[in-house]
Amino acid sequence: MGKSENISALNANTDLSDCHPSHQILFEPVQIGPVVAPNRFYQVPHASGMTEANPRVRAAFRETKAEGGWGVVSTGAVSIHPSSDDSPLPFARLWNEADIASHALSTEAIHRHGSLAAVELWHGGAAVMNRTSRLPPLSPSGISWAATHVGFMGQLRPKKMTGADIDEVLHWQRLATRRALDAGFDILYVYAGMGYLGYEFLLPEYNHRDDGYGGALENRVRFVREMLEVTRDEAGNRAAVALRISLEELRGKASDHYESEAHGVVSLLSDVPDLWDVKMDSSPTDCGASRFRPEGAHEPIINFVKRVTDRPVVGVGRFTSPDTMVSQIRRGVLDLIGGARASIADPFLPSKVRCGNSDDIRECIGCNICIASWHDGVPVRCTQNATAGEEWRRGWHPERFRRVKTSTSVLVVGGGPAGLEAALTAARQGCDVTVAEQTDDWGGRVLQESQLPGMATWRRVRDYRVWALSQMGNVSMYTNSELDAESALSFGADHIAIATGARWTKRLYSALEIPSEPLERAEVYTPEDVFAGHVAGDRVLVFDYDNYYLGGVIAEHLATKGKHISYATPAGHASAWTFMTNELPFVYQALARRNVAIHTTTNLIAFDGQCAALQNLFNATPMEIAVDAIVIVGHREPRDTLFQALQHEGDETHRTAVQLLGDALAPGAIVHAVHSGHSFARGLVDDTAIYLRDEPVVPAEPLAAFPKQ
C-alpha cells in the first residue's frame, strides 16, 4: 500500500517532509482556550448511534479517527439531564457515575493518539419528546416543535420555562461539566443549534418571553451566555469551552444594530466561548446530501464569523479535498476544518494528507446513509467505509489488514460495488486476486446511477476502488469477460466470489404490501431500460415502491429529456425513505422544477398501453392517467445463474469455495453491497461468524431513581 502502510506511525509525530507544501498549513497547531489542537483537522460532534449501550464500540470508533490524525475528536449529543431524552433515537448521557466511566473509555482511547476529546453537552428543549423519562419537555415560551414526520411526532407538549427552570438547567449544565471533566474531556460544548434549547432562546419564533431572557436580541442571548459562563466557571483552566450555534435563520433576520441577527449574536458573545462551531439550522441543510449540496455549501452563511470574533472558528462542508480545506483557511473562513461525514468515510484522511498521499483518500459520497443509521437507531454505517462501526465488534480496521497465512487465490466475478470491495480487501490481505467484469467498464449499478441528475459524486465508490486496485501487484482485472461455470472453475481459484448484482423486475405492488405479478407489456420498462436509453413515449409514469432515491431521480432524469412525467407511489411521500437521508425536501423541490406530478398513497393496478389505472392504497378511490409508458422501480431479483451453475458443476475434484456477494446474495442499497464484499474478504482470514456484543457500564448497585441533582 506504499505510504499509507506507515500512516499510524506518521500520526504520532510532526514530520511534514512528505506533505505537499500547500497543505502544510493544515497541520499547524491551534490554541483553543487553555488547550491546543495538534492540527486543524477537527472531527465535529456527530451522532454515532452507539450510546452508553455500546461504550466499547463507541470508543473504538472514535479512537480510529484519532489514530487517523484528527486533532480533535468529538462525541455526538450528550444529554445533561433526563428532561433531554431523545429516545427511541440514540443519544448519549452524562447523568451519573456510570456514564462518566462509559465516556472515559472514549477519552482514554482518543488521548492515546495525542488528540483532544470534545463533548457536546446537550439539552434538547422542546425538540425532544421525553418518551422514556416522561418529563415535560422544556421550552422558553411553551412553543413546541410541530414535526411533520411520524418518526419525530409526539403528543407531549412542552412547558413554558419559569425562572426556576432556567436556574435548574444552568445547574444541570454545571453538573454535566463536572462529569465531563472527570471523564477526561478537553473541550466542553454549549449547544445552541438545530432547534435545541439554546437555539430556542435565540429565535423570536420560539422565544416570546417578556422578562430578561426575551424580547431584544441582547436579552435573547442571555441564556446562552449564562450556559457558557457556568461551563467556564466550573471548568476553569482544565478545559476549553465551545459554542455550537446554527446561524442560517438568524442570518436571514434583519437587525437595527447589526448586519443581521446572526452578526449580532456573534458580536454580543464574541469573546465568551473559546471556540465557535458554526452550522446550519436543520439537518437537511446542515448535512445536505451531495445530490443537492456541493462541498463547502455552508460558506455563504458562516463566512462572516471570523470577521466578528478573534476566537478560532470551526465549520463543516463535507470537505474531502485538501485544496478546498486550505482555501477555507487562507481566505479567512475557518480556522479548523470540521469533518463529520468525511471523517466516517475515511478516518485516516488527515494522515493521508500528511503523507502526501491524498489520492488514497476514501472520499465521502454524500449519500447520507450515516445519517439514516441515526434515524434507524443503530450504529453508524458508511457506503464508502465498511469498517465504520465494526472496529470493536468485528475487529475491522480501515487501514490495517491481517495477511493470509498461506497462498490464497480469489476470483471475483462482477465489478460492481460488492465485487470491487471484495477484490480490494482480499488483495490487501495478501490474496492473489482476479476480477472479471462482463461489461466494458467497472462500477456496475454505481456507474449507471452516477450518470443520473445529481448522482455524479456517487461514482467515487467505483473510482476509489478501481484506482486502489490498479496500484496493487497481486491483482488482475479484466473487462468484457463474461464467464460461465466451466471457465470460472478453469481459473483454479481457491475462492470464487459471485458479485453479479440484481435485476429490476416489472412486478406490481400488492395490497399485502409485497411485490405481486409482473406487468408484462412492451411499454413497461425497468431502471435498466432507463440506463440504456430505451424508454419510448412522451408521457411516462414512474411507479415507485422501492421508495429510496432511484425512482425520484429517474423521474427527474426523464423529465430532462423533454418527457411529461407523472410519479406515483404507494408510500406517503415521493422517494419516502429519503427522509432518512435528509433528501426528502429537496426531492420535492427537484421534481417541482421539472413539473413532475406526484401521486402518493397510490397503487398501479393495470395499464393498456394508453392509460394507467391507479387507485388509492387505503380507500381504493380510482384514478386514470393517460400515459404512453410506465417505468416500474420496485422489486429486484438476484442475478445468481452462474452461482447456481457452479453449484451443479462442483464435485470432489473441485475444491473451490463459491459464495454470493452483494445484490446477488440479497438486493439492497449500495452500502449493503460494499459491506457484503468486505465481510466476505475479511472472512478469508478470520472466520468469526458474528460480531461481538457490547455491554453497558453499570453502577455497582442499580439506582432506584435518577441521581439527586
Please give the positions annotated as active site: 196
Q: Phi, psi (5° rounding) for residue 199? A: -60, -40
Residue 198 to residue 32: CA distance in whole angstroms: 22
Helix, coil or strand: residue 170: helix
Give pairs for 611-620: CB < 8 Å, separation 24+. Answer: 612/541, 612/543, 612/568, 614/568, 617/511, 617/570
CB atoms < 10 A from the CB of 546, how many? 23
Residue 629 to residue 12: CA distance in whole angstroms: 61
Q: How far is CA 664 from CA 84, 416, 474, 497, in A?
A: 44, 11, 25, 10
Helix, coil or strand: residue 490: helix
Q: 524: alpha, beta or left, given left = phi > 0 and alpha = psi -120 to 50?
A: beta
Cell of 317: 462542508
Question: Which H, E and C letters describe 635-679, residue by residue?
Answer: CEEECCHHHHHHHHHCCCCCCCEEEECHHHHCCCCHHHHHHHHHH
Beta strand pairing status for 611-616 and 622-626?
antiparallel
- 440, burial (CB in 10 Å: exposed 0-12, middle 13-18, buried 19+): exposed
Residue 17 to residue 243: CA distance in whole angstroms: 35
Cell of 249: 435563520
User: Which residue in 399, 362, 341, 346 sits closest to 8, CA to CA?
Assistant: 399
Residue 528 to residue 323: CA distance in whole angstroms: 37
3-state helix vs strand vs coil in the chain, percent to 5: 35, 20, 45
Residue 596 to residue 460: CA distance in whole angstroms: 29
In total, the chain counts a number of residues equal to 709
Residues contacting 644, CB < 8 A, separation 6+: none
Contact (Cβ atoms closer than 8 angstroms) between residue 504 and residue 646: no
Alpha carbon 2 to its chain centroid, in Å, reads 29
Cell of 52: 452508553
Scored b (16 or more CB within 10 A) or e, 317-326 reads bbbbebeebb
Q: How far is CA 240 from CA 120, 221, 229, 232, 265, in A?
A: 12, 20, 12, 8, 20
* Cis-peptide, bond into residue 90, ω within 30° of zero: no
Residues contacting 57, CB < 8 A, separation 6+: 50, 379, 389, 391, 392, 393, 694
Helix, coil or strand: residue 564: strand
User: Which residue in 549, 600, 550, 555 sits closest to 578, CA to CA?
Assistant: 549
Q: Match 466578528 to its residue by C-alpha cell.
A: 308
